[in-house]
Structure 1
Amino acid sequence: MTPVFSHGDLRLYLLNLLDDQPRHGYDLMQALSDRTGGTYTPSAGTVYPRLAKLEEEGLVTKTVDGRKTVYAITDAGRAEVGARAADMSGIEAGLADSVRLIADEVRGSVRAAMKSLRADLAAASHQATTPTATPREDDARVRSREQLQRADAAVNAFRAQVRADLRTHVARGGELAASIVDDLGRALDDAAHAVAASLRR
């Protein structure tokens, strides 16, 4: 996957997050994941060395709060964030593009799931319309009920995952563009129409 952050961008983004409020390392990692819509989940081995470098440069300080190490931006760090505001705008635009790509992936996943469901429904329909003995008809009904359970589980899992991702993103201060919701709505409408068309066959 193409890196979400170009060289040096992650350093500035960490400073920007700390400009909002002091944070501990895990909170920074979670914030990065949330603000990129899950496209980028940094490891401790990525974040902590950069924080250590920022501390060496006098741009952040760290204090121990119980078992957590909390990082806070310094005046020098704020000055750098302010001086590079234009760079931050470019980084934010790149992150917005990443979130749009997620919507595209969701749409593709829904289409793939609907294609599989259409195939299952077609197979079940073929079995149901083929003259067979009563036990086989019963088998077809059992298979249809099993497929219905699969469909229910897939829809519920999709709803729960997307709802959780969206709520977490917004709760963490991320921006949710109307275009993302519009894309999601269109993808769901397409999926619903595909299912309805398959059921009418």
Structure 2
Amino acid sequence: MAPVFSHGDLRLYLLSLLDESPRHGYDLMQALADRTGGTYTPSAGTVYPRLAKLEEEGLVTKTVDGRKTVYEITPAGHAEVAARADELQGIEDGLTDSVRALADEVRGSVREAMRSLRADLAAAEREERKTAPTAPPVDDARVAAREQLARADAALGEFRARVRADLRTHVARGGSLATSVVDDLTAALDAAAREVTRAIRG
């Protein structure tokens, strides 16, 4: 992949980020990742040497805030950013082009990986068809029974959901739930279960 920043551009771009507000090193790395849509995430080994150079040149200062070192631009740094505004705009334009190029490469890699995966799956499917034993004839009665079982499961699930929702809503609204109601529900369910068992056993 082509580099996102040309030689010297990253230094100026870091200075422009500090021109917006003081930041610590990780915040600068995150800002660069955000500005490039995640296509470019610089390492600490890339960012910190440039910050040290900016400090040597008197363009930024650093202060320790707990476990973090915060970098802040100096008046000289502000002056350089202002003087190189046109150059910064060119960096922004080039950054946009670089990010688009990186995104195109990523998309191409993903498409190629998907094509390869589809080819592997197709080959595996062909191999499985060649080695798989001949499927036994489908038992129509068993298929029908499974379809009816699915219907029964759906009906039971719907019944349970409806009754449960009614009971919960009633109690949530402050209603009482008498023991006799639960007893009657339990008895009705037991009776229904016995009828189903009797029916399926013939």
Q: Give the corresponding residue for 1:198.
A: none
| Structure 2: segments with no counterpart, 5+ residues | 136-202
Distance of 2:2 and 2:103 partners within structure 1: 17
Distance of 1:128 and 1:60 partners within structure 2: 65
Q: Give the corresponding residue for 1:27.
A: 27
Distance of 1:4 and 1:122 partners within structure 2: 38
Superposed, 1:1-201 pairs within 5 Å as 1-127=1-127, 133-134=133-134
Runs of at least 4 residues off by over 4 Å: 127-132
Task: Single out whichever of 7-16 and 34-43 deviates more from structure 2.
Answer: 34-43
CA pair 50-107 structure 1, distance change in 2 beyond 3 A: closer
Distance of 1:2 and 1:118 partners within structure 2: 29
CA pair 72-110 structure 1, distance change in 2 beyond 3 A: same
Structural RMSD (CA)? 2.6
CA pair 118-50 structure 1, distance change in 2 beyond 3 A: closer
Residues matched between the structures, number: 136
CA contact (8 A) 1:60 1:71 kept: yes
Counting aligned pairs with the same residue, the percent is 79
Helix, strand or coil at the partner of 1:91: helix
Amino acid of the structure 1 residue aligned with 2:94: G
Distance of 1:96 and 1:119 partners within structure 2: 35
TM-score with structure 1 setting the length:
0.58
| Structure 1: segments with no counterpart, 5+ residues | 136-201
Amino acid of the structure 2 residue aligned with 1:76: A
Structure whose alpha-carbon radius of gyration is higher: 2
Task: Single out whichever of 4-13 and 43-52 deviates more from structure 2.
Answer: 43-52
| Pairwise CA distance, 1:33 | 2.9
Distance of 1:48 and 1:107 partners within structure 2: 31
